[in-house]
DNA sequence: ACCTGAACACCGTTCAAGT
DNA sequence: ACCTGAACACCGTTCAAGT
């Protein structure tokens, strides 16, 4: 199977689409596909061949952020006990959610979350498993449960109360 | 100020709009305004004068359900201690959410929830206050926090795990 | 091989014209 | 006083035609 080199213009088009989408998302939380195509200077067809769904585009836009979030889980586990690591990781998620609301939108129920190997779910699983071994976090909690609970971060009103609500959630996941 | 009798056709139009919307929501969770107008046999203008936003229409459709939910709070408090009443009330909410997903959509961030006198928030406040007096529920929890946490019920994947996630939430709201 | 952009099917919402 | 429905401004998505 011969490796086929993608045309140079195709490569730059794809990169420009992602860059433009990222910029559009800094001003508003909406992302009209036609607006992305126009701002990127490509036809709608080009946009859709690169990213068949908006979820796919969002996943690409926030890939770097998600990678950082996922990578921070083992780092925190190396420096703290599992319960503290989990609590700190939740704060990381909240910080990302505050700055870039779209991260959560991409995360929940989309390509990222529904994919076979959702990296975020993997990070949560790791933290939960450590807490279970330690005996500080409830053994009957799955990554799915945590993802559902974190969904509140995507609501606009969440910003002010995020920290407090995370405390309540964390309190609920600890063993009594 | 003389009471003005609304025209008979106007009254029946309004009732038919609500009835048709309710029926449409049993099959799908979407509610296109034009589809409502067409199914109700009225012009779009009539629909919009009665219900300026979709939220307003949803609020009317689910008014009866919300009333039942709100009324159940004092009933539960009369028969159980505050913590048990709160737990049972949460189950009531989950049951409604399972059957009619739209109740939650109408509840969260919409006319119902954002209104000056959100009845749901009132019911939650009442339950929380009783739990605080009793010393079983955390004093630093507000109705807003609970509403944010309950938002997960509107997600399609929530159905199977709703009961378990509610346990986690309840666990987090209790005093240690 | 990749691209463009007209075109289609759908929204929500408004408002002039009717009764 | 209330209603109708054409019309407008927007979506997402497809696909024939180009290079």
Summarize pLDDT for A44-83 with one digit per residue, the tens: 999 999 999 998 999 899 888 889 999 999 999 999 999 9
Average pLDDT (A127-156) is 94
Q: What's the CA gap between A120 and A107, in Å, rounded? A: 8
Q: Report the interhelical angle of A158-173 vs B143-150 (nearest 10°).
A: 80
Q: What's the CA gap between A83 and A94, in Å, rounded? A: 17
Summarize pLDDT for A153-171 with one digit per residue, the tens: 888 788 889 999 999 999 9
Q: Is the CB of B79 under 7 A from strand D?
A: no
* % of chain A with per-residue pLDDT over 90: 65
Give residue A156's pLDDT: 79
Residue ranges of chain A whose CB lies within 8 Å of a chain B CB = 108-109, 138, 140-141, 144-145, 148-149, 151-152, 155-158, 161, 164-165, 168-173, 176
Residues in chain B within 8 Å Cβ distance of A161:
144-145, 148
Give residue A172's pLDDT: 97
**Minimum distance, in Å, between the CA of residue B65 and any CA atom of chain A:** 23
A107 band by pLDDT with thresholds 50, 70 and 90: low
Q: At A93, list the tokens.
A: 């998620």
Q: What's the CA gap between A106 and A109, in Å, rounded? A: 8
Q: At A22, list the tokens.
A: 């990222």
Q: What's the CA gap between A161 and B70, in Å, rounded? A: 24
Give residue A111's pLDDT: 43
Q: At A18, list the tokens.
A: 């992602």
pLDDT at A1 over 90: no
Contact A151 B151 (CB under 8 A): yes
Sign of CA dihedral B103, B108, B114, B119: positive
Give residue A167's pLDDT: 96
Give residue B97's pLDDT: 84
Kindly report the pTM of this predicted structure. Answer: 0.88
Contact B148 A158 (CB under 8 A): yes
Average pLDDT, rounded, for chain A: 89
- Based on its alpha-carbon atoms, the radius of gyration of chain B, rounded to whole angstroms, reads 19
Backbone torsion region of residue B84, taken as left when φ is above 0, otherwise alpha when ψ lies between -120 and 50, otherwise beta? alpha
Give residue B110's pLDDT: 46
Q: For chains A and B, what is the number of CB pairs under 8 angstroms?
A: 77
A9 band by pLDDT with thresholds 50, 70 and 90: very high
Give residue B35's pLDDT: 96
pLDDT at A109 over 70: no
Q: What is the pLDDT along chain B (176 residues), one digit of tens a residue?
A: 455 678 899 999 999 999 999 999 988 888 999 999 999 999 999 999 999 999 899 989 988 888 999 999 999 999 999 999 999 999 999 988 887 776 676 555 444 444 446 788 899 999 999 999 999 999 999 999 999 999 898 887 888 899 999 999 999 999 98
A110 band by pLDDT with thresholds 50, 70 and 90: very low
Average pLDDT (A96-101) is 78
What residues contact B157, with CB distance under 8 A and at least 6 apart?
Answer: A109, A144, A148
SS (H, E, C) chain B: CCCCCCCHHHHHHHHHHHHHHHHHHHHCCCCCHHHHHHHHCCCHHHHHHHCCCHHHHHHHHCHHHHHHHHHHHHHHHHHCCHHHHHHHHHHHHHHHHHHCHHHHHHHCCCHHHHCCCCHHHHHHHHHHHHHHHHCCECCCCCHHHHHHHHHHHHCCCHHHHHHHHHHHHHHHHECC
Give residue B111's pLDDT: 43
**Residue whose entry in the numeric block shows the structure tokens 């890939």:** A63
Based on the number of CB atoms within 10 Å of its own CB, is B72 exposed (0-12), middle (13-18) or buried (19 or more)? middle
**Residue whose entry in the numeric block shows the structure tokens 């586990």:** A77
All domains of chain A in start order, with CATH: 8-53 (1.10.10), 63-173 (1.10.357.10)
> Nucleotides of chain C within 7 Å of a protein C-beta?
1-7, 10-16
């Amino acid at each position: 199977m011969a490796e086929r080199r993608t045309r140079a213009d195709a490569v730059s088009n794809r990169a420009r689409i992602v860059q433009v989408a990222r910029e559009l998302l800094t001003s508003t939380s909406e992302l009209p596909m036609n607006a992305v195509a126009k701002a990127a200077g490509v036809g709608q067809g080009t946009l859709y061949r690169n990213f068949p769904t908006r979820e796919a585009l969002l996943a690409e836009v926030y890939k770097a952020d998600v990678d950082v979030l996922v990578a921070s889980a083992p780092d925190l586990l190396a420096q703290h006990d599992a319960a503290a690591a989990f609590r700190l990781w939740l704060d990381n998620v909240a910080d990302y959610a505050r700055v870039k609301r779209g991260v959560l939108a991409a995360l929940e129920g989309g390509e990222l979350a529904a994919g076979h190997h959702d990296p975020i779910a993997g990070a949560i699983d790791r933290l939960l498993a450590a807490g279970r071994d330690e005996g500080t976090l409830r053994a009957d909690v799955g990554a799915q449960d945590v993802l559902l609970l974190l969904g509140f971060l995507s609501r606009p009103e969440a910003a002010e109360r995020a920290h407090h609500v995370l405390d309540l959630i964390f309190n609920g996941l600890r063993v009594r």
